[in-house]
């Protein structure tokens, strides 16, 4: 699968490896429905997670939406940190020597910087939609109580250079694509009452009410639309480094063509929080675990107030060109 290949390539580049990225160190908590008991191995190289499924044997709608909000918060933190970190943004493939995200030097690439700026704004829009569907304040004040981390942890060297940043970003975007593909499948299964999923799903934004079948179908459609945007991010950032047909590799990854997959991969995921058969290593939670578990290189999530005014890292012309709304229900 495409994501498997990327993660294998990361190990060649000295970044993440498949074990640390996909199995993870722990799971995050999403209320009582997604708590975990963590048993450490004596060697410390791998930890096993055992989910406590208070919600049953499948994800709930709230599980899916919360897992997606965590992923979007991670994405926002990743893009914002890259855009505001001199070691990354001054690469010749981005703002160039002496440049910044909002003042690209003559030796840099405005369009490549705009790829990252646009992606940041899109992830912010996704996060705000998810907050509204979960009934959380759009100020972000309810995120921590809902189980959304306020700090993420990155591999050493992630923001030391573009060469350190790009492989991590590609692996993350691959995981995001897989997570939303899984969300499409699960929302569709809920709407149909198929494969053990219940069509009776509590509405997280309206206490005491349930989501309708039409809601679940719409959520599947919205998940697919976000998946498409995440896939565009993956392809666009692959086009950032200057490579040639004769020398197509960068950070150990062959970047030609920029979109190198016939079909997007779900990364082998079997759930967002609750994995099939209780295997948490095949969930989005497990995949993102290394970024959520307390470790090295902590980076705080930008506050929603900061996100509302990204003038320090996003030019007004880029911001005005990022638009669109969720698909309409049919």
pLDDT value at residue 285? 87
Tell me the residue length of the chain: 330
pLDDT value at residue 293? 87
pLDDT value at residue 155? 95
pLDDT value at residue 329? 84
Closest CA to 164 of 60, 323, 15, 318: 15
**What stretches in the chain show pLDDT beneath 70?**
1-56, 277-279
Q: For residue 61, give the 3-state DSSP assignment.
A: helix
Displacement of CA 52 from its chain's centroid (Å): 24
Rounded CA gap, 321 and 330, in Å?
27
Which residue intervals of the chain are DSSP H helices?
Answer: 2-12, 18, 61-84, 86-89, 110-134, 162-192, 213-238, 284-292, 304-307, 316-321
Calculate the alpha carbon distances from 268 to 1, 29, 157, 220, 287 in Å.
8, 22, 27, 19, 10
- Sign of the alpha-carbon dihedral angle for 59, 62, 63, 65: positive
pLDDT value at residue 203? 97
Would you list the domain boundaries of the chain?
A: 2-321
């Amino acid at each position: 699968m495409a994501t498997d290949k990327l993660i294998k390539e990361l190990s060649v580049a000295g970044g993440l490896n498949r074990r640390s990225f996909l199995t993870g160190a722990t799971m995050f908590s999403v209320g009582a429905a997604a708590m975990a008991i963590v048993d450490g191995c004596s060697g410390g190289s791998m930890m096993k997670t055992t989910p406590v499924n208070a919600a049953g044997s499948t994800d709930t709608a709230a599980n899916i939406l919360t897992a997606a909000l965590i992923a979007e918060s991670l994405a926002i933190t990743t893009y914002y940190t890259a855009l505001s970190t001199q070691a990354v943004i001054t690469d010749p493939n981005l703002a160039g020597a002496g440049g910044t995200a909002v003042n690209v030097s003559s030796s840099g690439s405005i369009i490549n910087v705009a790829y990252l700026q646009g992606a940041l704004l899109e992830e912010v829009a996704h996060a705000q939609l998810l907050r509204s569907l979960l009934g959380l304040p759009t100020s972000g004040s309810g995120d921590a109580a809902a189980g959304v981390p306020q700090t993420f942890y990155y591999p050493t060297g992630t923001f030391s250079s573009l060469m350190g940043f790009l492989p991590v970003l590609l692996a993350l975007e691959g995981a995001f694509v897989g997570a939303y593909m899984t969300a499409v499948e699960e929302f569709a299964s809920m709407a149909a009452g198929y494969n053990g999923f219940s069509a009776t799903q509590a509405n997280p934004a309206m206490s005491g009410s349930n989501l309708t079948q039409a809601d679940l179908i719409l959520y599947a459609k919205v998940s697919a639309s976000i998946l498409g945007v995440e896939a565009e991010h993956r392809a666009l950032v692959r086009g950032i480094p200057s490579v040639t047909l004769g020398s197509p590799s960068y950070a150990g990854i062959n970047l030609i063509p920029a979109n190198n997959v016939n079909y997007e991969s779900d990364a082998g995921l079997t759930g967002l929080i609750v994995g099939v058969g209780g295997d948490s290593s095949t969930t989005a939670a497990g995949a993102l675990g290394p970024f959520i578990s307390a470790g090295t290189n902590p980076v705080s999530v930008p506050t929603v107030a900061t996100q509302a005014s990204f003038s320090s890292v996003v030019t007004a012309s880029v911001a005005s060109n990022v638009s669109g709304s969720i698909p309409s229900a049919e």
